[in-house]
Amino acid sequence: MFYQLGLIGYPVEHSLSPWIHQSFLKNAHLQGRYDLIEVHPEKSLGDILLELKEQHYTGFNVTVPYKQKIMPYLDKIDTSAEHIGAVNTVIYRDGNWIGYNTDGFGFVRALEYRYPEVIEKTNIQVLLIGAGGAARGIYAALQMKDVERIDIANRTRTNALKIANQDQTKVKTDIYSLEESEKRLNQYDIIIQTTDVGMKPKQHKSIISLQNLEQPNIICDIVYQPISTNFLKNAKQRGAKILQGHLMLLFQAQRAFEIWTNQAVSIGKMDEQLKQLLEGR
Ligand code: ATR
């Protein structure tokens, strides 16, 4: 079998996904290719899907600005992607285009990979900063784990409430402003920054101040450009353990690759290699 894969988005030229998936193909000893498919906003997504079908695509990833826009064009959507309201992975199976979202799952895998001892703990207390698509995916994926509380801090309270109200599960959630959350940092085992604040070219920014941080908790950032954000640098200086965003990028891709190929693939040395690639940018 030859795996014809790709990424649709606009723009896509700087994407690291081709490197990641070509490495997975190699690690798994599979034949295939992964192409960047730049889709101009004026093009019809319906036409794009027809073209990809004619070209025998196995599946593709979806990035900005199409993660939500692609949804009405798909034949089926996995329940967790439906719930998150965004699709980042599509497979063509039995005549149907099927959409998935692997972002939250990728985050949890990254956490387990770097800090496996965290999963052994019970009553885990989490603070999620931000309430966009990424936060929604991570909120959903964390619920599969033994997490007792996931509080949300966000600039716009109503957006945080949308996440908390939609999920009727046993996990407890309180909503805070960004300022309020700065005073509560020591109550959490894990703090996850899910907004794009701190991303290049605005890398001097941090979503909140960590000056009250005293606990040796785990601080995560989903931003991976730069690989060590200001937020993570501050966390490290205060003795926290950190989780860099490139690992979520890697593990959401691993999950997508598993969906396309139906087989497990190891990340091998890709953690280090990806870090070096990003540091060179
Ligand atoms: P994604 O789908 O990538 O998560 P998104 O849906 O646009 O992106 O969500 C972005 C998140 O980052 C939101 O929580 C947003 O806060 P609001 O809900 O108040 O809009 C947050 N965000 C983005 N820029 C921000 C900034 N400069 N300050 C504070 N929060 C910011």
pLDDT in tens, 191-246: 999 999 999 999 999 999 999 999 889 999 999 999 999 999 999 999 999 999 99
- For the record, the structure tokens of 101 come out as 């979202």
HSE-CB at 166 with a 13 A cutoff on CA atoms is 17
Q: Is the pLDDT of residue 92 over 90?
A: yes
Of 26, 43, 53, 67, which is the active-site residue? Answer: 67
Ligand 1 atom showing the smallest separation from residue 155 Cα? 19
- For the record, the structure tokens of 45 come out as 């997504």
- For the record, the structure tokens of 110 come out as 């990254």
CB atoms within 10 A of CB 239: 11
Contact 153, 127 (CB under 8 A): yes
Pairing of strands 76-77, 96-100: parallel
For residue 170, indicate whether it is catalytic: no
Percent of the chain residues topping a pLDDT of 70: 99
User: Which of 30-44, 63-77, 154-168, 169-183 is least confident?
Assistant: 154-168
β strands within 202-269, DSSP E: 218-221, 241-243
Q: Is the pLDDT of residue 70 over 80?
A: yes
In the chain the first and final C-alpha atoms are separated, in Å, by 35
Using alpha carbons, select from 121, 62, 59 the residue that is nearest to residue 91: 59
What's 187's DSSP letter? Answer: G
Q: Is the pLDDT of residue 120 over 80?
A: no
Ligand 1 pocket residues where CB is under 6 Å = 130-135, 154-156, 159, 194-197, 207
H/E element, 237: helix 230-237
